[in-house]
Amino acid sequence: MKGIFYLAWRYLAYNRWKTSILVGSIMLIIYLPVGLNVVVEESGEHLMARAEATPLLVGAKGSPLELVLNSLYFSLETPELMDYAAASSIIESGLAKAIPLYVRFRSREQPIVGTSIEYFGFRDLQLASGRLPALLGECVLGAAAALELGVAVGDSVVSSPETAFDLAGIYPLKMSVVGLLAPNFTPDDDAIFIDVKTAWVIEGLGHGHQDLARPEAASAVLRRSEDGIVANASVVQFNEISESNIDTFHFHGDLGGYPLTAVVAVPNDQKSGVILMGRYVDGEAQSQIIRPNDVVDDLLDTILTIQQFIVAAVIIVAIATIATAALVFLLSLRLRRREIDTIGKIGGGRWQVASMLLTEVVIVLILGSSLALGLTVLTWRYGSTIIERFVLT
């Protein structure tokens, strides 16, 4: 048997292109439906775990899926904005803890998540170094974000402008990195976390500027009187919040009207959750409340349906591929007639020849299956990360 295996292996190795194509075809036939299933299952579990960990999500009326994708996976698409007052109203109701989210800005490819300090405990995020944000302008990075941006505690990151030409709009803000999170294997790893008020500063809703009483600010002063100092639009605004200028930072108007993309509501108990949801049932309500679980469930159902179609298509292709491979094999037998005759003449029996040919087929199947298994294992390990990084965000 060793001799037969050796001959079969030498044949396959010599005809490496043909062997590679056959192995590749077998690999794909097996991997596509299996790998797809693994991706869908793994991603589904991952998505669902994240959704299950988020009891309720409040947002402006609109697409629930967009709200979930932006709030849980920090997708690029920003949902309709809502007022910060919604978060206050949830807290004041005493029914739930409210964690604001403002996920709109980026620093290069990393999402900037404006939130409150309670987010870290809610998501059970652990610090690898440094500390949590304490002041305006400070940020904490997820493990992958820190790696991607090449920063450590003590460095800084800059928010990216939304457009190059909106000079009066969102401008870059330099933020100090005060902490790095340990890997969490969730979208939090890719995020830059700041206080929601820092996000408002990025948007220009909060700002700090020169002390108009100082001589350096003279050009910004229109007039001085007993009632005060009137400044003009040339007053210098700071694009970095530091110890020396943080006291100049302020917000105008009622913070309740400031924007959020969502509020995570963590009900005190089931009854509180039901009552809270009831408050948003009214068609006149400006906001919607959703269970991320339900939204992700619907999404997974859709993915499953698509998956079934793909698997059916793959099975049809697989049948065609197997038939083609069988034809190729039979044709190659005709081409190998002389070789088979030679082996027969020298002393190899029909059984030996058949074993050799069968062994070639088995080796191809084993190689193809093994590669498919290897790919499946890799998919199981990294598939959901790829989905999150390249599909959801």
Window 273 to 332, contacts with another protein (CB under 8 A) = none
Query: 9 or 329: whose CB is closer to another protein?
Result: 9
The enclosing H or E element of 249 equals none
Confirm or reject binding of residue 178 to another protein (CB under 8 A). Answer: yes
Judged by CB under 8 A, the residue of 45, 52, 218, 232 near another protein is: 232
Query: 76 or 134: whose CB is closer to another protein?
Result: 134
In the shown chain, the binding pattern of residues 128 to 157 toward another protein, with x for contact by CB under 8 A and - for none, equals x--xxxxxx-x-------------------
Task: State which of positions 344-373 bind another protein (CB under 8 A).
Answer: 344-349, 352, 356, 370, 373
Query: 44 or 64: whose CB is closer to another protein?
Result: 44
Task: State which of positions 33-52 bind another protein (CB under 8 A).
Answer: none
Q: How far is CA 35 from CA 171, 279, 375, 384, 389, in A?
A: 44, 43, 7, 12, 18
Judged by CB under 8 A, the residue of 17, 163, 167, 228 near another protein is: 228
Least CB distance to another protein at residue 169 (A)? 8
DSSP letter for each residue of 329-369: HHHHHHHTHHHHHHHHHHT--HHHHHHHHHHHHHHHHHHHH
From 38-46, 296-304, 308-316, 335-343, span contacting another protein (CB under 8 A): 335-343
Least CB distance to another protein at residue 322 (A)? 24
User: Residue 2: exposed, middle, or buried by beta-carbon count in 10 A (0-12, 13-18, 19+)?
Assistant: exposed
Judged by CB under 8 A, the residue of 158, 229, 303, 304 near another protein is: 229
Positive/negative CA dihedral, 87, 92, 98, 99: positive
Q: Which residues contact 63 (CB under 8 A, 6 or more apart)?
A: 79
Least CB distance to another protein at residue 107 (A)? 18
Q: Which long-range contacts (CB under 8 A, 24 or more apart) does 315-320 make?
A: 315/33, 317/29, 318/29
Confirm or reject binding of residue 3 to another protein (CB under 8 A). Answer: yes
Distance CA 273, CA 162 (A): 36
In the shown chain, the binding pattern of residues 241 to 280 toward another protein, with x for contact by CB under 8 A and - for none, equals -----xx-xxxxx---------------------------
Length of the chain (residues) = 393
Residue in 42, 102, 45, 100 with CA at minimum distance from that of residue 74: 102
Confirm or reject binding of residue 11 to another protein (CB under 8 A). Answer: yes
CA 76 to chain centre: 10
The enclosing H or E element of 56 equals strand 56-60
Query: 266 or 317: whose CB is closer to another protein?
Result: 266
Residue in 147, 142, 131, 150 with CA at minimum distance from that of residue 189: 142
The owner of tokens 């457009």 is 163
Judged by CB under 8 A, the residue of 214, 334, 337, 338 near another protein is: 338
Query: 20 or 237: whose CB is closer to another protein?
Result: 237
Least CB distance to another protein at residue 124 (A)? 8
Distance CA 389, CA 329 (A): 42
Positive/negative CA dihedral, 318, 323, 327, 332: positive
From 20-28, 40-48, 92-100, 156-164, span contacting another protein (CB under 8 A): 92-100
Least CB distance to another protein at residue 313 (A)? 28
Task: State which of positions 192-221 bind another protein (CB under 8 A).
Answer: 195, 197, 204, 207, 209, 212, 220
Judged by CB under 8 A, the residue of 168, 281, 330, 335 near another protein is: 168
Structure tokens at 335: 């081409």
